[in-house]
Chains A and B, each alone.
Chain A
Amino acid sequence: ELKVEQNPLFLSMQEGKNYTIYCNYSTTSDRLYWYRQDPGKSLESLFVLLSNGAVKQEGRLMASLDTKARLSTLHITAAVHDLSATYFCAGRKLRRATYKYIFGTGTRLKVLA
């Protein structure tokens, strides 16, 4: 069964600093997804990583995927307060001819002014 773990679970950082959120998964997942959730709100899709070595960037966020290490990272550059949210990664696992989409534990990011 696919298990997806993120670390850290909580992250408090100063504006202007860089940091990386890690997403490890237990078995093969051919794709990796990142989502953002603001407090009390819904989830918003950020990135879809389709293959080994894939890198996607949007603003101050950059996501990458290493399928051999079963690791995806979400790198934050020069953080700003608006990036405060919970970030989830999700993998997918083929099971009985259908895919199951499994979410990680989430990383709650707080950017301090």
Chain B
Amino acid sequence: DARVTQTPRHKVTEMGQEVTMRCQPILGHNTVFWYRQTMMQGLELLAYFRNRAPLDDSGMPKDRFSAEMPDATLATLKIQPSEPRDSAVYFCASGLVRPEYFGSGTRLTVV
């Protein structure tokens, strides 16, 4: 049963620390998305990649966030330095064109 795998599931960190979230898309999916979900803002598109190339990262605060796809089986989202307002659930999704399958999310708490 193919699925999008995200690690870690939960992360609690102190303000100022670096946080790295990882995503393994479904094999064969060439499009990978990162979304952030909060109660106040809902689901926000942070960035997405096709064939490992960034297509859009306009939703991402560039000063502290970075997203990469070092290879076709791994996408990473990094926050450095983290701030309390980054606390949210971060979802990765993959598909051939659209966000079709979502991972279980990484629940990030920055204290």
Q: Which residues of A contact B (CB under 8 A)?
A: 31, 33, 41-45, 48, 88, 90, 92, 95-96, 98-106
Contacts and interface: CB of A to CB of B under 8 A. Distances in A.
Interface of A, secondary structure class, is strand
Contact of B56 (A43, A90, A95): A95
Interface of B, secondary structure class, is strand
A42 B42 contact: no
A100 B105 contact: no
How many chain B residues sit at the interface, stated as a range, is 20 to 34
Contacts of A42: 91, 102-105
Contacts of B102: 42-44
B45 A100 contact: yes
25 contacts: A31-B98, A41-B104, A42-B91, A42-B102, A42-B103, A42-B104, A42-B105, A43-B102, A45-B100, A45-B101, A48-B98, A88-B43, A92-B98, A95-B56, A98-B50, A98-B56, A99-B98, A100-B45, A101-B33, A101-B98, A103-B35, A103-B42, A103-B45, A104-B42, A105-B42
